[in-house]
Amino acid sequence: MSGYNIFVLVKQVPDQGSKAGINPDGTIDRAKAKRMLNPFDRYALQAALHTKKAYGGTVTAISMGPPPAVEILMEALEHGVDRGFLLSDRRLAASDTLATAYALYKTVLHAGKFDIIFCGLQTTDGDTAQVGPQLAERLDLPQITYCEDFGIENGKVHARRIIEGGIQKVVTEMPVLVTVANSYHPLEYKSFRGAWRVQQLARRQEELKQYIQTIDLDLIGADAERCGLKGSPTIVAWTEKVGEIGGSCTMHEGHSPDEMVHEIIKNTGVREYLVANK
């Protein structure tokens, strides 16, 4: 066995935990916002690296986004990914999930042969969970979404996925696309050596290019008409402020805990729901 060709899709998203770039009215200034690896992709990365460690192979990270997204591919490299592709092209701006899935489909074909594609369950800036399955449809692959356990036995994939109120154990062949739930193992810390190696690499841009390639639509032979706003069947027609509900919160503040709790219990009728005393 020469090992598996493992792909992992990653995305750079604005850091919602950071106050940088958050306007007073709650909107986001993406240019100023701190950037981070989509938190869900950390589980996909862990699944990819674990699969490589357990069964052998190479891990290729693929991302789509503006040039700064190279940061997350560097981060992936530090964690032990072997190579990365960044699809970056202004014509991709305003792509919805379908256009994104098309562009990634062309990127995956460009990146070569694969056995498994791991994706995060969803991104924190879109929250749709659509791109993974839409990519699987383009590639005509079976898919395992909400995957929380993954292994390979006798050349077959064995996985556990979350369903409503339970779990499903499934077996399938490769190639397969897997979206990894956040109940999978968290991403391990990067090794000191891995981080050091990438830091050294970052100083030698020419050498770095052997590991991380930035590509555009022309290079991968993608039809620009199917990307960006033009290739997107949906648009955000308009947005509206979410009205404050009521604003009639009865506040308890500045008193001792027992006083405040007493007031709350007295005024809210919570005792109605208590476990009946036997």
Partner 1 sequence: MSEETKPQETPAETPLDVSQFCPKGDVLVVAENILGELQPVSLELLGAGRILADKMERNLLCLVMGHEVGDIPQKMIEYGADTVYVADHEELKNYRTLPYRRVLCDFLESLPEPPHTTLLGSTTTGRDLAPRIAAHFDTGLTADCTELDIGPYEHKSKVDPTKIGLYPNCLYAIRPSFGESLKARILGPWKNPQMATTRPGVMIPNAPDADKKGEIIKIPVNLKDEDCRLVVEETIREISKGIKLTEADVVVAGGYGLGTGEGFELIKKLAACFENSAVGASRKVVDLGWIPYQHQVGQTGKTVRPKLYIACGISGAIQHRVGMSKSHMIIAINKDPDAAIFKFAHHGIVGDCYQIIPEMIKQLTENTVKREVEAVVGTH
Stretch 85-104 residues interacting with partner 1 (CB under 8 A): 96-98, 101
- Comparing CB distances to partner 1, the nearer of 133 and 219 is 133
- Comparing CB distances to partner 1, the nearer of 31 and 251 is 251
CB atoms inside a 10 Å sphere around CB 39: 18
* Contact residues for 131 (Cβ-Cβ < 8 A; gap 6+): 9, 97, 100, 101, 104, 119, 123
CB 252 within 8 A of CB 260: yes
Member of 133, 149, 202, 214 binding partner 1 (CB under 8 A)? 133
Stretch 2-41 residues interacting with partner 1 (CB under 8 A): 14, 16-17, 22, 25-28, 39
Total residues contacting partner 1 by CB under 8 A comes to 92
Member of 19, 113, 169, 203 binding partner 1 (CB under 8 A)? 169
CA separation, residue 156 to residues 32, 54, 59 (Å): 45, 14, 18
- Secondary structure element (H or E) that encloses residue 225, with its range: none
Member of 34, 193, 209, 230 binding partner 1 (CB under 8 A)? 230
Member of 109, 126, 197, 224 binding partner 1 (CB under 8 A)? 126
Member of 2, 154, 205, 250 binding partner 1 (CB under 8 A)? 250
CB 105 within 8 A of CB 127: no
Q: Report DSSP state, residue 273.
A: G
| Minimum CB distance to partner 1, residue 202 (Å) | 28
Stretch 52-91 residues interacting with partner 1 (CB under 8 A): none
* b (16+ CB within 10 A) / e for 12-22: bbbbeeeeebb
Instruction: At 232, list the tokens.
Output: 């997107």
CB 50 within 8 A of CB 159: no
Member of 78, 146, 150, 215 binding partner 1 (CB under 8 A)? 146
Query: If you write DSSP's letter for every residue of 37-75 in order, what string do you get?
Result: E-HHHHHHHHHHHHHHHHH-EEEEEEEESSGGGHHHHHH
- Comparing CB distances to partner 1, the nearer of 170 and 219 is 170
Stretch 198-227 residues interacting with partner 1 (CB under 8 A): none
162: β partners: 167
Member of 2, 154, 205, 239 binding partner 1 (CB under 8 A)? 239
Member of 34, 168, 196, 207 binding partner 1 (CB under 8 A)? 168
Member of 2, 19, 24, 274 binding partner 1 (CB under 8 A)? 274
- Comparing CB distances to partner 1, the nearer of 139 and 208 is 139
| Minimum CB distance to partner 1, residue 110 (Å) | 19
The alpha carbons of the chain give a radius of gyration, in whole angstroms, of 23
| Minimum CB distance to partner 1, residue 245 (Å) | 4
- Comparing CB distances to partner 1, the nearer of 130 and 213 is 130
Member of 65, 118, 132, 222 binding partner 1 (CB under 8 A)? 132
**CA–CA distance, 158 with 181 (Å, rounded to integer):** 15
Residue 125 is a binding residue for partner 1 (CB under 8 A): yes
- If 0-12 CB within 10 Å is exposed, 13-18 middle and 19+ buried, where does residue 168 land? exposed
